Structure 1
Amino acid sequence: MMGERTVSQESLFYSFNLERHVPADHLLRSIDRFVDLSDLREQLRPFYSETGRPSIDPELMLRMLIIGYCMGIRSERRLCEEVHVNLAYRWFCRLGLEGDVPNHSTFSKNRHGRFRDSDLLRRLFETTVARCIAEKLVGGEGFAVDASLIRADASRQHVVDHAGQLPPASASHAVREYLAVLDDAAFGGATPVPPKQLAVADPAARWTAASRDRAFFAYSTNYLIDLDHAVIVDVEATTAIRQAEVTAQRRMIERAHTRFGLWPERLAADTGYGDARNLSWLVEERGIEPHIPVFDKSARRDGSFERADFVFDHDDDSYVCPAGKRLRQRRKHYREALPFVDAEGMTRYRASKLDCDACALKPRCCPNAPARKILRSIHEGARDMARDIATTDAYVASRRQRKKVEMLFAHLKRILNLRRLRLRGPNGAKDEFLLAATAQNLRKLAKLIPMPAMAGAR
C-alpha cells in the first residue's frame, strides 16, 4: 500500500535542538574551539557611542567573516544568504533558528570604520598565531618567507598614464589610500621608479607581468611561516614588486619577535630575497642564517674568467687573478680623496694595465678592456656565508621545506578561492589577506588537533 504524507496544521510549539543537527565532524565545529572573541567588545568599546540605537553585534559579524573565508564564500551578499539557510552556519554564529542575519552593507560600514580604526583583524589573526604557539605547533627555529600575486579588483581598460589624471581623492576610498601610502616602503615608496600606468579604480595596485598570464593589476600577499607545521606566523600586504617583498620580510620578522618573542635560527627563501643588503641585514643585524640562493650576476657566457676565478685575500684586501697578479682598490693618488664605495654599496678592484698588457691570459680575462676590474659588495661577507650554507645538508632540507609556503598559496587560491580581491586599496588588501591567513591557521588547528571525542576514540 502506497503511503501518503498527511498535511497537518502547523504546530504551535516545536522542540528543536540546533546542537544536535550539526555533525560532530563538521569543520566549523572543530574550528569553533579555537575562536576566542571574549575581549572583542572591550577592544571596540571606544569606537561605539554610549547613546543611540544598539548596533549589530560585532562578534556576529566576525564569525560570519570567518565562515566566509574558511568556506571560500567570496561575496558578503551570498554569505548572508548562506548563513540564513545553513544550520551549521547559524550554530557557529550563535544565531539559533530565529536570529536575524544582518544586511550585507553592514560589513562595509564597519570595515571602513571601527574594524580598521581598532586594527581588529590584525588582532584576530595574532590570536590564532598565539593559539598555535600554545598548542606547540610553532617550533620557532626555522622560518620561510615568500610572496604571491593576487589580482586586484581593477580593469585593464580603465587606466591613466600618471597620477595627475586620477579622479579627486574624495571620489573613492582607494584613491585616498593610494595618496596616503605614496611614501610607504611597502607601496608607493618601494621604488623611485614611477609606475607606467595606474588603475583608476585602485591606483595602489601595481601593473605586473610576473606570471605566465597577460599583465594585470595586482597586490602581493607575503607570508612568514614556521617550517614545523606551516603555521602562518605573519602576513603583510605590499605592492607587487620585489623591493617591497624584501621590506615586508623585515617587518614580519621584527613583528613576530615583538609580538610573540619568536627569533628564528634560519630563514628559507628564494633568490628574490638573496640581494646583498638583505643578506647582510639577516646575518649581521639579526643573526639569522640565510638559507637563500645568492642573487649574483657575475657569471659570464663568453668563456672569459668570472669573478669566482679570482681569489680574495682578506689580509691584503686584494684579489689575486689566475695569473697571480693582484687587483687593488686604488693605484693612483688624487688631490681630492674619492670614495671607495659607490651609491650601490660596491667597491672596485683594478689590475695594473702594465700587468694586463704583458699577461698571456688577457684574451680570456679582459679582451675588450685595458685592465681587469672586479666589483665587490661591502656586504660580501654575508654573501659568502650564504654560499657556504648552500653547500650543507641543512640547506637542502630547508629548500625542500620551503615548498610549504607555496602550498599555502595554492590552498589560498584554490580552496579559499582568493584568486582576485573584492576590496580595493591597500587597506582592502590588508583586510582580505589577514582574514584569509586567519582562516588558514584555524583550518590548520582543526586538522592537527582532533576533537576531544575523536581523541578518546583513538
Structure 2
Amino acid sequence: MITKTNQKAHEMSFIILETYVPENHLLRKIDQSIDFRFIYDLVEPLYSRIGRPSIDPVILFKLLFINHLYGYNSMRRTMEETKVNLAYRWFAGLGVEDPVPHFSDFSKNYTRKFSQMIDVIHPLTGVLETKTVFAAVFDQILRQAHEKDYIQAAHVYMDSTHIKANANKRKTEEVFIVEQRKSYQDALDQECDAYSEAKGLELAKAVEPEVKRIKQSTVDPESGNFHKGEHEKQFAYLAQTVCDQNGFVLGVKLNPGNYHDSRTFLPAFDDVHQVFGEIIRSVGVDAGYKVPHIARELIERKITPLMPYTRPKGRKNNEDDLKVVKKEFDYDKSADVYHCPNGKILTPRSISKKDGYITYRSSTKDCKTCPLRKNCLTKSSATKTIHRSIWQPYLDEVELIRKTSYQAQYYPLRKQTIERIFADAKEKHGLRYTRYRGLKKVQDYMYLLFASMNMKKIALWSTRHKIHSSVDYLWNLISSLFSQRKTELEIQMNF
C-alpha cells in the first residue's frame, strides 16, 4: 500500500545538532583528534584590543579546512554548502539559526590580517621564526601528528607537481630576466679552483649572471611558462613537496612552473632538514633529481640518496650504429685519466664553473692513426672529448646504493607515499589548478591544503588506533578470564 506523507517543511522542531552528525563522519573524527585552540594564539596579535567583536577566527579557519577537505573550488560555494549542511555547521561551531559568514569575510580578513608575517616559535624546533599564519598553522598540525607518534621521518620522499595557474596563456609579454645564482655555486667554485691548481690547469672563468628572454604572463607574472607535453604550454606553479614514509606531508615549497626539479630541491629540503635533520636517514626521489650536486649534498649530510636507474646519455650501440660511446672508455681514478678502447689516454684539459664538468681530451697524434677513428670521431673533430663531473664520485656511490637491499626495501614506498599524496590532492582536494594569483597567495593555499590532508590522516589513524586499542583490551580481558578459570579448575581437580 502506497504511503503519502504530509509535507513537514514548515513545521517547527526542537533539535540537538550533535545528534545529526554520525559517529563515523570525517568532521567528527577530525574534531575529536585535532585541537584548534592554537589558532587563537597565532592570530591574537593581529587583532585590535578595541572596536567591534570580530568573527571567531577558528570558525573562519574551520570553514577553510572544509573548503580543502571537500575540494570546493571557491569560498562562495563553501559558504553556500555550510548553510544547508548540518555537519558543516556543527564542525564550524555554528548553530542551526546562526548566520554563516559571508564569503567576502575571509577575503577581507586575509587582506587585513592573515596575509601578514608573524613571529612564532616553531613547535618542533623551538626556534623563533618569521612566517605567515598559514605556515604556522601547517606546523601546528604537524606537531599534533608528531605528538601522536605518527611521523616516521627516518625515510622521507620528495617530488614536485605542477599546479595550473589562474592565468590566460595567451596574455603574455616577452621580458628579459637575470638568472639567479645557484645555491651550490660557491662550493662548486672552490672545488673547481682547487682542482685546477692541483692539475696545473688554467683557472676557470667565474660564472656571469645569464640574461634570458622569457614569456611572462601579464595576469600572473610570478607563474612560469611550463611545457605540458610535447605541444601544449601553460602557466603553472611547481610545488616541491616532502613527506614521510607514513604519507604525512612534512613541507612544501612553491616555485614558478618553469623551474627544474634539481634547481628547487635544496631550498625545499633544507626547510624539512632543519626540523627533522637528526632523524632523516634516507631520501627517495625520482630521476629528475639524479644530478651531481644533489647526490653530493645528501651524502655530505650523512643521508642516503635513493635514486632510480637512468639510462646513460648518448647513442645506443646496435648493429646499425657502431659509434664508440663514453661507456666504452675506462676511467682510471688513481691517474685521473680515461683509457680509450685502443689503449690511448685522455687527460684533463679544462674545467667549467658553470656546471662543474671536467673536459678530458686525447692527443691529435693518437687519434690520427687510430683504427677506430671513423667510428669514434665526428667529421669536424681531430680529437676525442669526454666530460666528467667533478662530483661524479657521489653519483658513483648512488649507483652502488641502488643495487643494495636497503634501496630495494625503501625506494618502492615512494609510489604509495608522495605519488599517492599528489593523486589524492588532485582528485579529491582541488590541486589541479589554483584560483589564487601570486607566489605568496598560492604558497599559503598549499600550506592549508596539505594541513587539511594531514588532519584527515590524523583523524583516520586516531580512530583506527582506538579500534585496535579496544580489540586489544577485549582480547586481554578474555585471556585473563580464561586463565583465571583454568586456574580455578586446576585447584578443584587437586582437591
* TM superposition score normalised by structure 2: 0.78
SS of the residue corresponding to residue 424 of structure 1 reads coil
1:311-322 superposed matches below 5 A: 311-322=330-341
> 2:59 is matched by which residue type in structure 1?
L
Q: How does 1:362-401 map onto structure 2 within 5 Å?
A: 362-368=373-379, 369-401=381-413
Distance change in 2, residues 1:132/1:381 (3 Å): same
Q: Higher mean Cα deviation, 356-365 or 103-112?
A: 356-365
Partners of 2:250 and 2:454 in 1: how far apart?
9
Whether the 8 Å contact between 2:157 and 2:243 is mirrored in structure 1 is yes
Deviation at 1:412, TM superposition (A): 0.9
Aligned partners of 2:7, 2:364: CA distance in 1, in Å? Answer: 106
May I ask how many residue pairs the two structures share in their alignment?
A: 425
Q: Is the 8 A contact 1:242 1:272 kept in 2?
A: no
Distance 1:382 1:365 in 2: 28
Q: Distance in 2 between matches of 1:255 and 1:248?
A: 12
1:156 aligns with 2:172: no
The equivalent of 1:269 in structure 2 is 285
State the partner residue of 1:58. Answer: 57
| Residue in structure 2 matched with residue 93 of structure 1 by the alignment | 92
Distance 2:361 2:5 in 1: 99
Distance 1:8 1:410 in 2: 41
Contact 1:204 1:239 in 2 (8 A): yes
* Paired position in structure 1 for 2:226: 208
Q: CA deviation at 1:289?
A: 1.9
Hey, what's the Cα distance between the residues in 2 that align with 1:9 and 1:391?
A: 71
Q: CA deviation at 1:9?
A: 9.2
Q: 1:305 to 1:184 in 2, by over 3 A?
A: closer
Partner of 2:111: 112
CA distance in 2, matches of 1:418, 1:6: 42
1:240 aligns with 2:257: yes
Q: SS in structure 1 opposite 2:228? A: coil
SS of corresponding position for 1:235: strand
* Residue 295 of structure 1, CA deviation: 6.8
The alignment status of 1:145 with 2:158, answered yes or no, reads yes
1:434 aligns with 2:447: yes
Distance 2:322 2:115 in 1: 57
* SS across alignment from 2:238: strand
In 2, Cα distance between equivalents of 1:8 and 1:361: 91
Q: Which amino acid aligns with 1:230?
A: G
CA distance in 1, matches of 2:93, 2:181: 40
Considering only aligned residues, what root-mean-square deviation do their CA atoms show, in Å? Answer: 3.0
- Structure 1 residue 367, shift from structure 2 partner: 4.8
Give the counterpart letter for 1:220 in structure 2: L
Q: Distance in 2 between matches of 1:5 and 1:424?
A: 51
Given that 1:225 and 1:231 are in contact with CA atoms closer than 8 Å, whether structure 2 keeps it comes out as yes
Q: Which residue of 1 aligns with 2:206?
A: none
Q: Assess, with a 3 A threshold, how the Cα gap between structure 1 residues 234 and 346 changes in structure 2: closer, same or farther.
A: same
Change in CA separation of 1:81 and 1:367 when aligned onto 2, cut-off 3 Å: closer
Give the counterpart of 2:457 among 441, 444, 447: 444
Tell me, yes or no, if structure 1 residue 357 matches structure 2 residue 359: no
Letter in 2 for 1:202: D
Residues 225 and 258 of structure 2 are in contact (CA less than 8 Å); yes or no, is this contact kept in structure 1?
no
> Conserved in 2, the CA contact under 8 Å of 1:140 and 1:262?
no
In structure 1, stretches of 5+ residues that fail to align are 164-178, 331-338
- Correspondences of 1:30-429 after superposition (within 5 Å): 30-117=29-116, 118=118, 119-162=132-175, 192=210, 194=212, 196-211=214-229, 214-227=232-245, 229-243=246-260, 245-261=261-277, 263-284=279-300, 286-293=301-308, 298-301=313-316, 302-330=321-349, 340-368=351-379, 369-404=381-416, 405-429=418-442
1:387 CA displacement: 1.9
Higher mean C-alpha displacement, 21-30 vs 409-418 = 409-418
Aligned residue for 1:162, secondary structure, equals: strand
Give the drift of 1:93.
Answer: 0.8
SS state of the match for residue 463, structure 2? coil
Check the 8 A contact 1:202/1:424 in 2, yes or no.
yes
* Equivalent residue, structure 1, for 2:195: none
Three-state SS of the structure 2 residue aligned to 1:411 is: helix
Unmatched runs of 5 consecutive residues or more in structure 2: 119-131, 184-208, 472-495
For 1:35 and 1:105, the matched residues in 2 are separated by 27
- Give the superposition deviation at 1:370: 1.7
What does residue 482 of structure 2 align with? none
- Equivalent position SS for 1:65: helix
**Structure 1, 369-378 or 290-299: larger mean CA deviation:** 290-299
How much does 1:210 deviate?
Answer: 2.8
**Which residue identity does 2:233 align to in structure 1?**
A
Seen in structure 2, the aligned counterparts of structure 1 residues 219 and 6 have a Cα distance that, compared at 3 Å, is closer
Deviation at 1:141, TM superposition (A): 2.0
Tell me which amino acid in the other structure corresponds to 1:250: L
**Identical amino acids, percent of aligned pairs:** 28
Report the Cα offset of residue 242 of structure 1: 4.0
User: Any conservation in 1 of the 2:281–2:302 contact (CA below 8 Å)?
Assistant: yes
Q: Residues 7 and 268 from structure 1, CA distance in 2 versus in 1: closer, same or farther, beyond 3 angstroms?
A: closer
Structure showing greater Rg: 2
- With over 3 angstroms needed to count, the CA separation of the structure-2 counterparts of 1:212 and 1:329, relative to structure 1, is closer
What is residue 480 of structure 2 aligned with on the other side? none
Paired amino acid for 1:355: D
In the alignment, residue 167 of structure 2 is paired with which amino acid? Answer: A
Q: 1:154 to 1:9 in 2, by over 3 A?
A: closer
Alignment of 1:18-37 (within 5 A): 18-37=17-36
Q: Deviations over 1:354-373 (max 9, x none)?
A: 22223323233325332212
Q: Give how far 1:97 is off.
A: 2.1
Shift of 1:414: 0.9
Matches of 1:361 and 1:283, distance apart in 2: 39
Please say if residues 329 and 341 of structure 2, whose CA atoms lie closer than 8 Å, have aligned partners that are also in contact.
yes
The answer on whether the counterparts of 1:30 and 1:451 sit within 8 Å (CA) in structure 2 is no
**Cα offsets for 1:234-274 (capped at 9, x unmatched):** 1111111343x334432232222323455422211112111
- Compute the displacement of 1:426 (Å): 0.5
Work out the CA distance in 2 between the residues paired with 1:274 and 1:140: 21
What is the SS of the residue equivalent to 1:154?
coil
